[in-house]
C-alpha cells in the first residue's frame, strides 16, 4: 500500500486583524478548500481541527466546533493541540485515518484570533509549566528568545543585522504577491534598520506579528482521488512529528536551561535538523530534490537557521544563501514563497496548514505571480512548543 495521500483542495481566510471569531475564519477556509476540491460537505467523512488556545471555546475544542459551524452531518471528529505544530499534527492525523481505511475524505482546519502584541501564557499560576515559568521567572518573552538565537548566530557564524534584514526584504517581496497575506507592501533593508529595536539585535521588522487567520485542506486516499477525476493530485508523502533527543545542548523554547551533557554526549544534530531528516527519510528524497520550502520564520535570524536545518546548506552558511538570492523567488531554492510569517503573522493552529496550502498551489502551478516554474517537491518545517516536530513533504 502506498503511503501517499492526495491533497484535493486548499483554502484560506486572508490573515490580518479582523476582530471576529476564529470559527468564522475557519469556516471560510473550510468552504474554500471544499470548493477547490470539488467536494460537498456531506461527502466529508472526518474533520480534524487544529486547536486554538486563545480564541477558542472552553476546552479549546476545534474539530467539533468547525463540524457544527458547517452543519452537523455525522462525520468523525478529532481535535489536535501541539502549539505551532498543531496543523502538521492535524494533517498527520488525517493521513493516518486515510491510510488506515477509516475515511476516504478528511477535512483539516486550523484558525485563530490572536491577541495584540506578543503571545503571553494563559492566566493563573502554574509553577509546573515551563512556558509560564520562563515568562514569570525570567521575563523571557518570545522576542527575547528570538534575539538570543540571533546573537548566537552572530557569535558563531559572523551573521550581521544586515543579513537578517535581507530575509525580511525577500519575504516581503513574496508576500506582496500573495492575496492572503496580511502585509502586502515591499520593504527595504533601510526600513528594517530604521524600525524600532524590540530585542537587540532584532528590530520590529525582524519579528513576525500575531494575526487572525485560517487555513484548510481536503485530503483523500489516492483511490478516491482517481475516482473523483484527479489523476495527478498533489500528494503528501511524509509528515514528521518527532521529538527532541536527550540531551538538548542548545536552549529550546520554552525551557529555561539546557540538559546536562555530562552523562551523555549531545546528539550530532539539532532538534530542528532531526525534524527535517525524519521527513526526508520517510519520503525517500533529499534536500537536493526540493523545488521550494516553507519554513517557520518567527524571526529573520531563525529563517537562516532553518536553511541549515533542512539541509539547503552547511551550518553557518545560511546568510550566504540569502545574500546570493538563492532563497528568493527566481533563486535556486525559493524559501517562503508565500511571504512566510513575516507577511502573514502567527495564527498558531493555522500556520502549518497554511504552509501546506502554499506547497499545494506551487506544485499545481496555480500560485500566480509568485509561481516557481516546474515545482515538483517541497517541504514545510516548523516546531511547536514543548518538543513538537512539524515537517511535511509534498510532491507531484
Q: What is the average per-residue pLDDT within 300-326?
A: 98
- The pLDDT of 381-388, averaged and rounded, is 90
257, three cell numbers: 536551561
Quickly list DSSP for 91-142: HHHHHHHHHTTS-SEEEEEEEEEPPSSS--PPSS--TT-HHHHHHHTT---H
| Residue 157 pLDDT > 50 | yes
Q: Name, of 53-62, 210-219, 265-274, the range with top average pLDDT.
A: 210-219
Q: Where are the alpha helices (DSSP H) in 158-260?
A: 161-175, 189-194, 222-227
| Cell representation of residue 41 | 460537505
For the beta carbon of residue 203, count every other beta carbon within 10 angstroms: 21
Place of cell 539585535: 201
Task: Confirm if 95 and 236 have CB atoms less than 8 A apart.
Answer: yes
Dist CA 347 CA 349 (whole Å):
6
Task: Enter the C-alpha cell of residue 183.
Answer: 502585509
Rounded to 10°, the helix 161-175/300-309 angle is: 90
Query: C-alpha cell of 119?
Result: 503571545
pLDDT of residue 120: 78
Residue 58's pLDDT band, with cuts at 50, 70 and 90, is very low
Rounded mean pLDDT, 171-187: 98
Q: What is the mean pLDDT of residues 220-230?
A: 96
- Mean pLDDT over 82-109 rounds to 96
Q: How far apart are CA 136 and CA 303, in angstroms?
A: 28
User: Of 15, 362, 99, nearest to 91 (Cα)?
Assistant: 99
Task: Kindly report which listed range (238-252, 328-342, 368-382) carries the lowest average pLDDT score.
Answer: 238-252
Find residue 395's DSSP bridge partners: 235, 377
- The predicted pLDDT at position 266 comes to 82
What's the mean per-residue pLDDT of the chain? 93
CA distances from 98 to 33, 77, 94 (A): 18, 13, 6
Question: Which bin fits 339, alpha (ψ -120 to 50), beta or left (φ > 0)?
Answer: left
Does pLDDT of 36 surpass 90? yes
Indicate the pLDDT class of residue 247, thresholds 50, 70 and 90: confident
Q: What is the pLDDT of residue 115?
A: 82
The more confidently predicted of residues 98 and 117 is 98
Quick one: cell of 303?
Answer: 529563517
For residues 303-321, average pLDDT: 97
- Provide, rounded to the nearest whole percent, the portion of the chain with pLDDT above 70: 98
How far apart are alpha carbons 315 and 309 in whole angstroms? Answer: 8
Q: Is 57 a residue whose pLDDT tops 60?
A: no
Mean pLDDT for 169-173 is 98
Say if residue 304's pLDDT is above 50.
yes
C-alpha cell at 228: 473523483
> What are the tens digits of pLDDT across the range 104-122?
999 999 999 988 888 877 7
pLDDT digits (tens, 9 = 90+) for 317-359: 999 999 999 999 999 999 999 999 999 999 999 999 999 999 9
Instruction: Give residue 1's pLDDT.
Output: 41
Cell 481566510: give the residue. Answer: 13
Amino acid at each position: 500500500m502506498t503511503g501517499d495521500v492526495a491533497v484535493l483542495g486548499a483554502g484560506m481566510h486572508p490573515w490580518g486583524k479582523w476582530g471576529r471569531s476564529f470559527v468564522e475564519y475557519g469556516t471560510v477556509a473550510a468552504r474554500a478548500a471544499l470548493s477547490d476540491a470539488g467536494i460537498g460537505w456531506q461527502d466529508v467523512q472526518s474533520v480534524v481541527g487544529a486547536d486554538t488556545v486563545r480564541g477558542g471555546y472552553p476546552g479549546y475544542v476545534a474539530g467539533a466546533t468547525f463540524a457544527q459551524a458547517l452543519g452537523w452531518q455525522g462525520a468523525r471528529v478529532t481535535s489536535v493541540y501541539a502549539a505551532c505544530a498543531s496543523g502538521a499534527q492535524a494533517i498527520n492525523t488525517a493521513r493516518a485515518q486515510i491510510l488506515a481505511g477509516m475515511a476516504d475524505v478528511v477535512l483539516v482546519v486550523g484558525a485563530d484570533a490572536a491577541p495584540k502584541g506578543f503571545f503571553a501564557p494563559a492566566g493563573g499560576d502554574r509553577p509546573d509549566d515551563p512556558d509560564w515559568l520562563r515568562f514569570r521567572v525570567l521575563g523571557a518573552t518570545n522576542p527575547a528568545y528570538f534575539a538570543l538565537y540571533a546573537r548566537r548566530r552572530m557569535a558563531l557564524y559572523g551573521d550581521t543585522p544586515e543579513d537578517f534584514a535581507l530575509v525580511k526584504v525577500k519575504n516581503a517581496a513574496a508576500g506582496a504577491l500573495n492575496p492572503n497575506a496580511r502585509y502586502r507592501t515591499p520593504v527595504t533593508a533601510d526600513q528594517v534598520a530604521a524600525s524600532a529595536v524590540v530585542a537587540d539585535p532584532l528590530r520590529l521588522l525582524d519579528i513576525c506579528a500575531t494575526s487572525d487567520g485560517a487555513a484548510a485542506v481536503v485530503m483523500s486516499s489516492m483511490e478516491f482521488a482517481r475516482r473523483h477525476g484527479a489523476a495527478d493530485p498533489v500528494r503528501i508523502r511524509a509528515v514528521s512529528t518527532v521529538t527532541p533527543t536527550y540531551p538538548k545542548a542548545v536552549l529550546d523554547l520554552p525551557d529555561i536551561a539546557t540538559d546536562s551533557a555530562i552523562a551523555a554526549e549531545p546528539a550530532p544534530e539539532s532538534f530542528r535538523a532531526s525534524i527535517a531528516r525524519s521527513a526526508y527519510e520517510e519520503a525517500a528524497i533529499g534536500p537536493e530534490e526540493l523545488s521550494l520550502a516553507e519554513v517557520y520564520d518567527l524571526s529573520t535570524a531563525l529563517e537562516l537557521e532553518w536553511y541549515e536545518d533542512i539541509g539547503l546548506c552547511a551550518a553557518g552558511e545560511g546568510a550566504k544563501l540569502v545574500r546570493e538570492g538563492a532563497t528568493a523567488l527566481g533563486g535556486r531554492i525559493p524559501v517562503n514563497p508565500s511571504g512566510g510569517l513575516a507577511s502573514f503573522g502567527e495564527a498558531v493552529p493555522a500556520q502549518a496548514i497554511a504552509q501546506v496550502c502554499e506547497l499545494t498551489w506551487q506544485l499545481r502551478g496555480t500560485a500566480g505571480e509568485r509561481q516557481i516554474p516546474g515545482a515538483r517537491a517541497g517541504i514545510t518545517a516548523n516546531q511547536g512548543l514543548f518538543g513538537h516536530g512539524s515537517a511535511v513533504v509534498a510532491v507531484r
